[in-house]
Structure 1
Amino acid sequence: MESKKAIRSNVGAQKVDDVVVEFNDESDEESEVKAEHQLTSSTVSQSMHSAVIRIDLESSEAAAMICRTLAVDKEPMRSTATRILSTEGSVLVVNISSTDRKYLQKSVDNLFDMCDLAKQTYDIVGGYELNAEKETIARKKKRTVRNSNLSVVENGVP
Structure 2
Amino acid sequence: MSDAVAADELATKALEKLSEQGRSISCAESLTGGLLADAFVRIPGASQTFRGGVVTYSDAVKTAVLGVSPQLLQTNTAYDPQVAVQMSTAVREMFHSDYALATTGVAGPGPDEGVAPGTGYVCLATAQGTEVREVNQPGTRPEVRASFVRAALELLVSHLG
TM-score category of the 2 structures, normalised to the smaller one: under 0.3
Structure of higher RCO (CA pairs closer than 8 Å, 6+ residues apart):
2
Q: Which has the higher helix share?
A: 1
User: Whose radius of gyration is greater, 1 or 2?
Assistant: 1
